[in-house]
Structure 1
Amino acid sequence: MRAISRGVNRFYVTTPIYYVNDIPHVGTAYTTIVVDALRRFHLLVGDESRMLTGTDEHGLKLERQAHEEGKTPQAFVDEMAERFRQAWPVLDIENDDFIRTTEPRHKAYVQDLWRRIEERGDLYEGEYEDWYCVGCESYKTEKELLPGNLCPIHHKPVERVKEKTFFFRLSRWEKPLLDFYERNPSFVEPASRRNEVISFVSSGLRDLSVSRTSFTWGIPVPNRPEHVMYVWFDALTNYLTALGKEGDPLRRYWPPNGRAVHVVGKDILRFHAIYWPAFLLSAGYTEKELPSQVFAHGFLTVDGQKMSKSLRNAVDPLRLARELGPDTLRYYLLRAIAFGQDGDFSHTALIERYNADLGKNLGNLLSRTLGLCVKFSDGKTPPMGEIGPLERELAEAAANASAAARAAWDELAPHRALEATWTLSSAANAYVDKAAPWASAKAGDMVRTHTILATLLEALRQLSVMIWPAMPKKSDGLRAQLGLAPLAPKAGEDLWPKGFTPRPAGEPLALAAALFPTIDKDAEAALLTKLAPHMHGAPAAEAPATAAPAAAASPAAEAPPAINYDTFLGVDLRVGLVKTAERVPRKDKLLKLAVDLGEAEPRTIIAGLALSFKPEDLVGRKIIVVANLEPRSFGKGLVSQGMLLATGPSEALHLATVEGDAPPGSRLK
């Protein structure tokens, strides 16, 4: 399809610069994958798009760690920064720049920003004493600390520090910041984080200590070399350093000429949403020259537990990418975790979602379609004949999916974008069954058969574009099998699907090996043992002498106790017809269903289906319901009068359904 020309917008998106006290892990990979996917989406729709990542390399913590390892701080950070630089290509991340805070260009820029703030009278000398968390590289107030003077983030004791310092007049910017937030409500997202920021600023801002004299590993304060800059004053400036000074061509990405979005973890939101705009305003930047948005995402746990060295549950994203392919990891992280909320990484759920979404949905659609094309159109694109109601229905589904996915990407909601994308894949799979090209071919109606296949090929072409931000290599592979060249985005050309326009007849297709071969139970067990041995049965490589007893196997892994026949007969399983379905307000996982069980009135069933199904997709489906279960209250008048049957994780459920003419209320035997 011809690209649509459009005006050029500019999109600049950044990760935090990662502190090099540790190697890349699944948390840093998650943030960086999200940012790369956002960059790719904006490229796809014709924007000039630029991505920045890098490393934060100054501070007391790094100075101490380097000395503990017998290295100079510079040698230590050189070694650690290289691990981050080399990690991202393994995950198909293509950042445009990689900045290090030890680079000369950054040092010069930070010192210039310091001078600008100093000239405006917002820096003064004094002495500071308070509790300091070396892990956070920030001071903590008494009310922030946990009992025992523990940092609320690291749960480690803070240190009492007293030293000479320069203070930044943060208190001066309290009202200007509140006014700015009011005029720019989308500056901090999601809304819950914005409320936290406003609450913190409203409670009163204290002047901020922005230099240190108790250690030397940092950028020297201009004309006062006994002071080094506070690591956050240093680090935050990287976003501008990488674009150069006023007049540099790259500065076109910065507001007001571009859209600049900082993606950060919620633990460093305060630095980005309060300190950073205050520094810029103090340096003479206008409100229109501040970043466009700071988006704070949540934390990741692993199989329900906080990542911890003592639990030996850290996830190596590079190893996962090498075992399963980078696109599989990218898709899972982008699809399974609601961006902006806390999420859980599960090896089992990753494989289940791979099989369900990639293998049995999109992969199956591609294999079926190409197989039918080999059989009925000599492995070439067939001619498009007269379209009917089924084709119009699929074209409408494609238009809706494309519009919803595009809007979600633009709103920094990759999970919703991919959910919308997969509605098209599911609709195309349903279309195959309804249209039944094998039946029309058997009846000798090849015009109709070719129309069906041409329609399916167009759905797959659109899908090959819509998955590219998340799975660039698999997009290339899908397009290769469709006989299409890889996507090559250009500024000003919008490649996002705009309409249902089948290709000319006679173009060659390329049936190949399965794009997403499913992982069977034996292969899954082997993978889980290899990737997460401490969770899936194999002994840990280096269990400490004081290790806790091994956890009992999960109930799902054990054979349930036998029941007698009479007990089974006591379970009233019936066919239920879903009449209506709606979301439960403020309950992300719950849907409220009205289900016809052949009784005078439909029953209300509350079910945790919202992460896997849209309400409208359930209406009209015949499900299996446990009808004699005691009613269960969900609070606020929500009472479930039965339970439906399903399998899989909450974000990739498969319903137990009934085909055929069984009426509502029929008993299962």
Structure 2
Amino acid sequence: MTSGSSFYITTPIYYPSDVPHIGHGYTTVAVDTLARWHRQAGDDTWMLTGTDEHGQKMMRAASANGATPQEWVDRLVTQEWFPLLETLDVANDDFIRTTQPRHEDRVKAFVQAIYDRGYIYAGEFEALYCVGCEEFKTESEIVDGAGPFEGLKVCAIHSKPLELLQEKNYFFKLSEFQDRLLELYSSAPDFIRPDSARNEVASFVKQGLKDLSISRSTFDWGIQVPWDESHVIYVWVDALLNYATAVGYGAEPEEFARRWPAYHVVGKDILRFHAVIWPAMLMAAGLEVPRGVFAHGWLLVGGEKMSKSKLTGIAPSEITDVFGSDAYRFYFLSAIAFGQDGSFSWEDLSARYQAELANGFGNLASRTIAMIERYFDGVVPEAVDYSDGDVRIQKTVSDAAVAADAAIERFRIDEAISSIWTIVDALNLYITENEPWALSKDEAQRDRLATVLYTAAEGLRALAVLLSPVMPIATAKLWTALGADSSLGSLQNQPVREAGSWGILQSGTSVAALVPLFPRVEQ
């Protein structure tokens, strides 16, 4: 991507009746890291997250808690969802709520536009509906109930009985977009990633698409259909439109033109909505389809997908209270191949924290700065003659920066981190082999000692820049300790795509004491 171009990226908007668990946190920090990287590369970056607040499930939860739907969502969002962003150090540019007037007005404009273009009609409808999914179920998603639900049809995901709904509804002519969608998937192979997700969506669409019921008339918690106020817009249509309404669709044409189209990062369970229904709606409105939809895998705990109903959900703060937000971000983004399912365990998190963060990166930073303080009165020395070993470090740094940027372009944050980590491993080995503590005892080796410590410090400068989108807090501490603020400016303003250039940290810069980046955790 050329520097300065638009990079608009979204999380799904979350359903606030569930409290956030580490799966929500995983999606959010992944999108935040991608946005931070592009922001630091000079791209015109915008990150959106938010909450999906309409629908029957929300209405029922509110009445069960003795509140109006609006009171209920206000409480959930302020008490649970805003704090999540602080807990995980997320630097989103906007937060959209589907109950905001800006969203409601623009949704009506969009639905009216596709109605005026002839893509919506009235019809009768009877189908089995799952309130948990807010979705009518197809044959393959319906199973026979067991136990107390024996003899009933239940949702394959929630194992709860389905409700037979008969309504006069408005329908979107989704069936008309089958060929255009298949053409999109084949002409833009990166539209859906990873490949396994694209193949699954393409084979689903090849089986034929049914028209989509896009309104409900049996309850009123939602956005009214503009030409028939006895209906509200189906919650999924309302929710998907957030990506366009938040950047000015229907109200701020210049802003919309600047931002749209977006990249969407979603969990694979909601991929079809984003890769089938959403682009078809945009085509119907005569708008550009998204730039791409990336489906990540599930976080498994004890081999099961996390869910609130099965009580496998772990709150992100349970992890950050012990290990800190940087460790949370690093662990989930590096331990799981982005796009595949991953397992979470406390043992694995703890082991990686100790080995990679505390002993690997943290220890490298603290001993390098301590040796500059001890042997050069706290001033970064000047490198004299570079040996072959020094030049190898420079090449490792340069190669890692290029490889990491390429991995980010592919949405493979895990591959980016492992490329950057080659610098950590190479520098730790370099210090062990060059033994600065031995060089310091021989005045004739003074120039060599200076070169070794400059090499280590400059490698740390590159690490601080490259890892700042992943671990903003630890890298800011390291940046300050390197004295780089005074000579190079703030860490956030360092161009990440140029981080691999050598010789940026200026000799003569004064270092400062470094507090441990990853303190010991009592088990």
Give the TM-score, by structure 2 length.
0.94
Deviation at 1:268, TM superposition (A): 0.6
Does 2:500 correspond to 1:498?
yes
Structure 2 equivalent of residue 346 of structure 1: 345
For the 8 Å contact 1:303–1:347, the answer to whether it is kept is no
Q: Is the partner of 1:192 in helix, strand or coil?
A: helix
Quick one: which of 272, 275, 295 aligns to 1:273?
275
In the alignment, the residues of structure 2 paired with residue 500 and residue 37 of structure 1 have an alpha-carbon distance, to the nearest angstrom, of 24
Deviation at 1:504, TM superposition (A): 3.2
Structure 2 equivalent of residue 47 of structure 1: 43
For the 8 Å contact 1:384–1:502, the answer to whether it is kept is no
Quick one: which of 259, 268, 273 aligns to 1:254?
259
Change in CA separation of 1:494 and 1:418 when aligned onto 2, cut-off 3 Å: closer
* 1:19 alignment partner AA: Y
In the alignment, the residues of structure 2 paired with residue 438 and residue 474 of structure 1 have an alpha-carbon distance, to the nearest angstrom, of 26
Quick one: which of 123, 126, 129 aligns to 1:129?
126
In the alignment, the residues of structure 2 paired with residue 17 and residue 293 of structure 1 have an alpha-carbon distance, to the nearest angstrom, of 17
Structure 1 equivalent of residue 468 of structure 2: 468
Q: Is the partner of 1:503 in helix, strand or coil?
A: coil
In the alignment, the residues of structure 2 paired with residue 249 and residue 322 of structure 1 have an alpha-carbon distance, to the nearest angstrom, of 42
For the 8 Å contact 1:120–1:283, the answer to whether it is kept is yes
For the 8 Å contact 1:363–1:515, the answer to whether it is kept is yes
Larger radius of gyration: 1
For the 8 Å contact 2:214–2:233, the answer to whether it is kept is yes
In the alignment, the residues of structure 2 paired with residue 450 and residue 490 of structure 1 have an alpha-carbon distance, to the nearest angstrom, of 28
For the 8 Å contact 2:18–2:308, the answer to whether it is kept is no
Change in CA separation of 1:427 and 1:269 when aligned onto 2, cut-off 3 Å: same
For the 8 Å contact 1:34–1:414, the answer to whether it is kept is yes
Deviation at 1:154, TM superposition (A): 1.9
Give the TM-score, by structure 1 length.
0.74
For the 8 Å contact 2:368–2:457, the answer to whether it is kept is yes
Quick one: which of 27, 31, 40 aligns to 2:27?
31
* 1:98 alignment partner AA: F
In the alignment, the residues of structure 2 paired with residue 132 and residue 166 of structure 1 have an alpha-carbon distance, to the nearest angstrom, of 16
For the 8 Å contact 1:307–1:313, the answer to whether it is kept is yes
Gaps of 5+ in 1: 1-5, 525-669
In the alignment, the residues of structure 1 paired with residue 280 and residue 469 of structure 2 have an alpha-carbon distance, to the nearest angstrom, of 34
In the alignment, the residues of structure 2 paired with residue 28 and residue 7 of structure 1 have an alpha-carbon distance, to the nearest angstrom, of 30
In the alignment, the residues of structure 1 paired with residue 421 and residue 469 of structure 2 have an alpha-carbon distance, to the nearest angstrom, of 14
Quick one: which of 222, 241, 261 aligns to 2:245?
241
The superposition leaves residues 437-467 of structure 1 with CA deviations (integer Å, 9 ceiling, x where unpaired) of 2233323210111011001000000000011
Quick one: which of 132, 135, 140 aligns to 1:138?
135
In the alignment, the residues of structure 2 paired with residue 434 and residue 352 of structure 1 have an alpha-carbon distance, to the nearest angstrom, of 26
* 2:180 alignment partner AA: P
The superposition leaves residues 165-188 of structure 1 with CA deviations (integer Å, 9 ceiling, x where unpaired) of 001111111111111111111111
In the alignment, the residues of structure 2 paired with residue 86 and residue 248 of structure 1 have an alpha-carbon distance, to the nearest angstrom, of 32
For the 8 Å contact 2:479–2:491, the answer to whether it is kept is no
Deviation at 1:330, TM superposition (A): 1.0
Deviation at 1:406, TM superposition (A): 1.3
Quick one: which of 149, 162, 171 aligns to 1:167?
171
For the 8 Å contact 1:261–1:293, the answer to whether it is kept is yes
Deviation at 1:7, TM superposition (A): 4.4
In the alignment, the residues of structure 1 paired with residue 236 and residue 228 of structure 2 have an alpha-carbon distance, to the nearest angstrom, of 18
Question: Cα RMSD (Å) of the superposition?
Answer: 1.7
For the 8 Å contact 2:484–2:509, the answer to whether it is kept is no
Quick one: which of 130, 148, 155 aligns to 2:159?
155
Deviation at 1:196, TM superposition (A): 0.8
In the alignment, the residues of structure 1 paired with residue 344 and residue 3 of structure 2 have an alpha-carbon distance, to the nearest angstrom, of 39
In the alignment, the residues of structure 2 paired with residue 227 and residue 348 of structure 1 have an alpha-carbon distance, to the nearest angstrom, of 51
Does 2:223 correspond to 1:226?
no
Deviation at 1:489, TM superposition (A): 4.1
Change in CA separation of 1:147 and 1:339 when aligned onto 2, cut-off 3 Å: same
Quick one: which of 8, 11, 18 aligns to 1:12?
8
TM alignment of 1:17-96, pairs within 5 A: 17-82=13-78, 83-96=80-93
In the alignment, the residues of structure 2 paired with residue 53 and residue 62 of structure 1 have an alpha-carbon distance, to the nearest angstrom, of 19
Structure 1 equivalent of residue 358 of structure 2: 359
The superposition leaves residues 316-351 of structure 1 with CA deviations (integer Å, 9 ceiling, x where unpaired) of 112322332111111111111111111111112111
Change in CA separation of 1:438 and 1:489 when aligned onto 2, cut-off 3 Å: closer
Structure 2 equivalent of residue 414 of structure 1: 413
* 1:277 alignment partner AA: P
For the 8 Å contact 1:38–1:469, the answer to whether it is kept is yes
Q: Is the partner of 1:227 in helix, strand or coil?
A: strand
Gaps of 5+ in 2: 146-152
Pick which of 144-153 and 122-131 moved more.
144-153
In the alignment, the residues of structure 1 paired with residue 81 and residue 414 of structure 2 have an alpha-carbon distance, to the nearest angstrom, of 25
Quick one: which of 197, 222, 241 aligns to 1:193?
197
In the alignment, the residues of structure 2 paired with residue 503 and residue 29 of structure 1 have an alpha-carbon distance, to the nearest angstrom, of 34
Structure 1 equivalent of residue 434 of structure 2: 435
Deviation at 1:502, TM superposition (A): 5.3
- Displaced runs of 4+ in structure 1, greater than 6 A? none
Structure 2 equivalent of residue 515 of structure 1: 517
Change in CA separation of 1:488 and 1:436 when aligned onto 2, cut-off 3 Å: closer
Change in CA separation of 1:309 and 1:252 when aligned onto 2, cut-off 3 Å: closer
Structure 2 equivalent of residue 478 of structure 1: 478
For the 8 Å contact 2:33–2:469, the answer to whether it is kept is yes
Number of corresponding residues: 509
In the alignment, the residues of structure 2 paired with residue 282 and residue 306 of structure 1 have an alpha-carbon distance, to the nearest angstrom, of 35
In the alignment, the residues of structure 1 paired with residue 407 and residue 258 of structure 2 have an alpha-carbon distance, to the nearest angstrom, of 22
Q: Is the partner of 1:30 in helix, strand or coil?
A: helix
In the alignment, the residues of structure 1 paired with residue 132 and residue 341 of structure 2 have an alpha-carbon distance, to the nearest angstrom, of 21
Structure 1 equivalent of residue 390 of structure 2: 391
Q: Is the partner of 2:154 in helix, strand or coil?
A: coil
Q: Is the partner of 1:424 in helix, strand or coil?
A: helix
Deviation at 1:494, TM superposition (A): 5.4
Pick which of 464-473 and 237-246 moved more.
237-246
The superposition leaves residues 546-575 of structure 1 with CA deviations (integer Å, 9 ceiling, x where unpaired) of xxxxxxxxxxxxxxxxxxxxxxxxxxxxxx
For the 8 Å contact 2:483–2:509, the answer to whether it is kept is yes
Deviation at 1:119, TM superposition (A): 1.0
Structure 2 equivalent of residue 215 of structure 1: 219
For the 8 Å contact 1:465–1:496, the answer to whether it is kept is no
For the 8 Å contact 1:465–1:487, the answer to whether it is kept is no
Deviation at 1:505, TM superposition (A): 2.6
The superposition leaves residues 619-653 of structure 1 with CA deviations (integer Å, 9 ceiling, x where unpaired) of xxxxxxxxxxxxxxxxxxxxxxxxxxxxxxxxxxx
* 2:37 alignment partner AA: F
Deviation at 1:137, TM superposition (A): 0.7
In the alignment, the residues of structure 2 paired with residue 272 and residue 514 of structure 1 have an alpha-carbon distance, to the nearest angstrom, of 43
Q: Is the partner of 1:442 in helix, strand or coil?
A: coil
Q: Is the partner of 2:12 in helix, strand or coil?
A: coil
For the 8 Å contact 1:373–1:380, the answer to whether it is kept is yes
Deviation at 1:309, TM superposition (A): 4.9
In the alignment, the residues of structure 2 paired with residue 310 and residue 13 of structure 1 have an alpha-carbon distance, to the nearest angstrom, of 30
* 1:461 alignment partner AA: R
TM alignment of 1:606-625, pairs within 5 A: none
Q: Is the partner of 1:225 in helix, strand or coil?
A: strand
In the alignment, the residues of structure 2 paired with residue 131 and residue 313 of structure 1 have an alpha-carbon distance, to the nearest angstrom, of 28
In the alignment, the residues of structure 2 paired with residue 146 and residue 433 of structure 1 have an alpha-carbon distance, to the nearest angstrom, of 61
In the alignment, the residues of structure 2 paired with residue 271 and residue 305 of structure 1 have an alpha-carbon distance, to the nearest angstrom, of 23
